[in-house]
Structure 1
Amino acid sequence: MLDRTKDISVSAQAWFDAFERMLGEPEPHALSSLFLADSFWRDVLALSWNLQTLAVRDEIAQALAMLAGEAAPTNFEIAQNRAPPRWVTRAGTSTIEAIFNFETAIGRGSGIVRLVPDTADGDRLKAWTLLTALDELRGFEEQLGTSRPRGQAYSRDFRGPNWLDQRNAARDYADRDPAVLVVGGGQAGLSIAARLKQLNVDTLIADRAMRIGDNWRKRYHALTLHNQVQVNHLPYMPFPPSWPTYIPKDKLANWFESYVEAMELNFWTGTEFEGGVYDEAKGHWTVTLRRADGSKRTMHPRHVVMATGVSGIANMPDIPTLADFKGTLLHSSRYEDGENWTGKRAIVIGTGNSGHDIAQDLYSSGAEVTLVQRSPTLVTNIEPSAQLAYATYNEGTLEDNDLIAASMPTPLARKTHVMLTEQSKELDKELLDGLQRVGFKLDFGEASTGWQFKYLTRGGGYYFNVGCSNLIIEGAIKLKQFSDIESFVTEGARMKDGSIIPADLIVLSTGYKPQEYLVRKLFGDAIADRVGPVWGFGDGFELRNMYARTKQPGLWFIAGSLAQCRINSKYLALQIKAIEEGILGREVSTA
C-alpha cells in the first residue's frame, strides 16, 4: 500500500497538471469540471491584479479563462519547502490542503488548493477553494538573503560618507521627495514601509507622535495585546523567543523603535499630515507636513498610504446634558492611568475592550467605578475562547499560516467563526450566565459570527475578559444601562428612578469614527466621495478599499491587527512597486 501522504501528493499534483492544461483551452467548460459546484477562488494580484473572491464554479472558470491569456500562469507544482499536502478540517469540512508554487508572465506566486471528493461525480477530487497569490515581481525581488545589498565592504571610500552619513541623508529628505508617504507609524505604517524598503521604493513615514511607538506607549497603563505573541510578528523580524505570550504595550512600543532602526526605515516623528491635493496630469500629490517646531514642508509623493488604523478620529457622541457634568470628561483614547483617581468616583460609558479595561484599571487603582452599557456586547474569555481563531498559528511556520489565513474566502471564514462562537459560548457558559444574571446584555455578532467579524465590520463591540467581567458579576464594579439614565448633572448621572450616580470622572469609551471621516478632513469631499467607505465588507467578499488600489489614484489604505498588516503589506507593496516600474496602471482595473 502506498504511503497516505504520498497518495495525497500524487492526487494534488494530478489536479495541478489538469488545471494548468485546461487553463490553456479556449472553452472554460473543462476547467469548470475541476471545481465543486459551490467553490471559491480568491486571487490576490496574481492573475487579476486585484484582491477579489469569486464564488460558484462556472463564474470561476470563466474568469480564469479570461485572465489566463494575459497572466500566462504556468509551472503549478506542490511547494517543496512548505507543509506537505495533508488532510485538514476547514470550516467544518474535511479536505486535502495543498500549498503550491507557480509562475506568471510578470512574477512568481504561491497558493493553496483544497480538494474535496465530489459525491456527484464518483468521488473525484475537485477544488473547494483556490488561492492564487503573487509573491514577487520577476526582476524586482526583495533585497533579502542572497539578494541583500553588499554595502561598502569591497568599495570603501575613506573620504566619502559612511553608513551613518548616508542614513541621515536618506532620512532628512533635504534634496528629494519620497516616492511614497506613509501617514501613521503604528504596525500598519511600519509593515508597509518595511516591505517597500525591501523593494527599493523610497518611503517616508510621518507620524504626529513625538516618539516612535507612542501610538501604543501613550495608551492606558495596564494595556497588553489580547492575542498571543506568535500571531503578532512584524515582517522580516520575528519577536525574540523569550518574549511573553501577551505583549505589554510599552514592550511593543520599544520594539517599534528598534524595528525602525534595524530595518533602516525613514521616519519623521512630531510630524502632522495636513492634507493633500492630487495632480492627475503629473501623477503626484502636493502634500503639507507640519513639523514639531512649527515649520512646514511641501512634498510631491506619487503615493500616499493612509496607515492611521481602524481607530482614527475619536467618536464623541452628542449626548444631551453631558455638558452639564462639571467633573473631568475624557475619551478613552486620552485615558492613561487610574492612579490619579484613587478614592475618586468614575463612570465609564461603553463596554468594548477599552471600556472594560479602563473600568478594571480604575477599580484596581482604588476608584469607585460604574460601567454603563450602551448596547449589547460580545464577551468571551481571553483564554481559551478568544484564541480559538488563531489555532493554526500554534503549529507550522509563520509563512504557511499567513498563506492559510489569506486563503480563506470570507463566506467560509464567516462559517468558521459561527462554529467558534458556539464553541466559545459553551466554554464561557458560567461567565455568560453570571453576566446575564446581573443585567449585562450579551451579543454574539451578526448571525453569530463572533468577535472577529465585529472587528472586520465595525472595529470593535466586544470584550476579551481578563477579569473585569468577574468584577461586574461580583458587584465590585457596578453596572448600569445607558437607557436608564435620565440626564447628566453637575455631580454625575441622574437615573430615571431619581437616584444620582456621583462621579469625578466620566470616560467615554465610545469608539472611533470610520476612516472616511479622516479622508474627508484631509483630502476634501470630492476625493472622499470618489473613494467611498473604508473598512467593512459592503456587498462584497473583500474589505472595502483596503490593501488595494482605490478609485483615487495614488491613495492607499492599510489597517488592522499586526497579523493583518504583516500579511497584506506584502500585497500592497507589490502593487506600488509594479506601478513604479510601469508594470501596472494607476487606475483600478474593471476586469
Structure 2
Amino acid sequence: GSNRTEFEYICRWLVVATGENAERVVPDIEGLAEFGGEIIHACDYKSGEKFQGKKVLVVGCGNSGMEVSLDLCNHNASPSMVVRSSVHVLPREIFRKSTYELAFFMLKWLPIWLVDKLMLILTWLVLGNVEKYGLKRPSIGPLELKNTQGKTPVLDIGALEKIKSGDINVVPGIKRFSRGEVELLNGEKLDIDSVILATGYRSNVPSWLQEGEFFSKNGFPKAPVPNGWKGNGGLYAVGFTRRGLSGASADAMSIAKDIG
C-alpha cells in the first residue's frame, strides 16, 4: 500500500540463506498462454480431488511430478507425465532400510562410483527395468549426479506401479500448446483439461542482492564447492552446495567459525 515503511540496516556480516529453491521455475512453452485451461505450479497443488475425471498434463518427472501424478491417479484423474530428460528412479526402501540410509552407510567404506553401481544393481532387483516404460537412466550414477549437478533422484512411493499399469501415461517433451490441446515432440496430440508444472525451483538472489563478484547470474556462488560459503566484506552464503542439509550444515559451521 501507500503507507509502506522502508528500513535501512547496517551490519558487519550478511549471510545469504535463501537457498537453491527460493522461487518457482515457470518455463516459456510455445502456446501456453493460449491453452485456456487451468495451469498451476506444483507448489500450489493441494490435492487431486478437484481434478477427478479430468485429463491432466504433468510437466516434469522429478519427485514432485511423480507424486502429483500418483495423487491424481488416486483421485480418478487421467495424468500424462512429460519425461523430457533422463531420470534416476530408486525404491524408497531396500532390505527394509531407507535407500539413502543404505547409500550413506556404504559411502563410509566404499568410493562413490562403487556405491552408485551397487545402488543401481539393487534398484534393478527391486524395481526391474524402468527404461522400457520411458524412464531412461542418466549415464552418471545417482549419487554422483546429485553431487555434481544437484539433480535429486526420484524415490518411488507408488508412481512406478501406476506407470507400469498404464494409469500414468509417460509422454516425451512438448512442442507446443493450443486451446485444450498439447502437441508432443513425437507429433502426437493430446486433449487435456489442466496443466500442472512440476518444473522445479531456483535461487532468487540476483533479484534482491546488488552484487556481482560473489554470486553468478544463476544465483549461486561462483566459487566451486566447498569454497562457496565466503565472499568479501562480510558476505557469506549457506545452503547453495546442491548437497542438501549436509552441505548447508558444513557451510553453517564454516561461517560460524569464521565470524567467531
Please indicate the TM-score interval, normalised by the length of the shorter structure: 0.7 to 0.9
Q: Does 1:521 align with 2:202?
A: no
Q: For 1:557, which of 214, 231, 237 is the aligned residue? A: 237
Secondary structure (helix, strand or coil) at the match of 1:531 reads: coil
Name the residue aligned to 1:473: 164
Pair 537,386 (structure 1): closer, same or farther in 2 beyond 3 Å: farther
Q: For 1:322, which of 32, 49, 56 is the aligned residue? A: 32
Q: For 2:101, which of 377, 384, 387 is the aligned residue? A: 387
Secondary structure (helix, strand or coil) at the match of 2:93 reads: coil
Q: For 1:437, which of 132, 151, 157 is the aligned residue? A: 132
Once the two structures are superposed, residues 242-290 of structure 1 have per-residue CA deviations (whole angstroms, 9 ceiling, x without a partner) of xxxxxxxxxxxxxxxxxxxxxxxxxxxxxxxxxxxxxxxxxxxxxxxx9
Secondary structure (helix, strand or coil) at the match of 2:255 reads: helix
**In the aligned structure 1, how far is the partner of 2:222 from the partner of 2:213?**
17
Q: Residue type matched to 1:466 in 2?
A: I
Q: CA RMSD in A?
A: 3.0
Name the residue aligned to 1:569: 252
Pair 337,555 (structure 1): closer, same or farther in 2 beyond 3 Å: farther
Pair 537,422 (structure 1): closer, same or farther in 2 beyond 3 Å: farther
**In the aligned structure 1, how far is the partner of 2:193 from the partner of 2:111?**
44
**In the aligned structure 2, how far is the partner of 1:367 from the partner of 1:536?**
42
Name the residue aligned to 1:460: 151
Pair 565,496 (structure 1): closer, same or farther in 2 beyond 3 Å: closer
Larger radius of gyration: 1
Name the residue aligned to 1:419: 114
Secondary structure (helix, strand or coil) at the match of 1:423 reads: helix
Once the two structures are superposed, residues 107-157 of structure 1 have per-residue CA deviations (whole angstroms, 9 ceiling, x without a partner) of xxxxxxxxxxxxxxxxxxxxxxxxxxxxxxxxxxxxxxxxxxxxxxxxxxx
Secondary structure (helix, strand or coil) at the match of 2:19 reads: coil
Name the residue aligned to 1:334: 44
Q: Does 1:361 align with 2:56?
A: no
- Relative CO higher for 1 or 2, CA cutoff 8 Å, sep ≥ 6? 2
Number of positions where the alignment pairs a residue of Structure 1 with one of Structure 2:
251
Pair 433,331 (structure 1): closer, same or farther in 2 beyond 3 Å: same
Name the residue aligned to 2:62: 352
Pair 492,459 (structure 1): closer, same or farther in 2 beyond 3 Å: farther
**In the aligned structure 2, how far is the partner of 1:431 from the partner of 1:317?**
34
Once the two structures are superposed, residues 540-572 of structure 1 have per-residue CA deviations (whole angstroms, 9 ceiling, x without a partner) of 5x3351xx321x322211115334434442232
Gapped regions of structure 1 (runs ≥ 5): 1-289, 393-404, 578-591
Gapped regions of structure 2 (runs ≥ 5): none
**In the aligned structure 2, how far is the partner of 1:502 from the partner of 1:294?**
46
**Deviation at 1:455?**
3.1
* Structure 2 counterparts to residues 502-513 of structure 1, below 5 A: 502-513=191-202
**In the aligned structure 2, how far is the partner of 1:353 from the partner of 1:536?**
25
Contact 1:332 1:507 in 2 (8 A): yes
TM (norm. structure 2) is 0.82
Pair 419,522 (structure 1): closer, same or farther in 2 beyond 3 Å: same
**Percentage of matched positions with identical amino acids:** 23
Contact 2:238 2:252 in 1 (8 A): yes
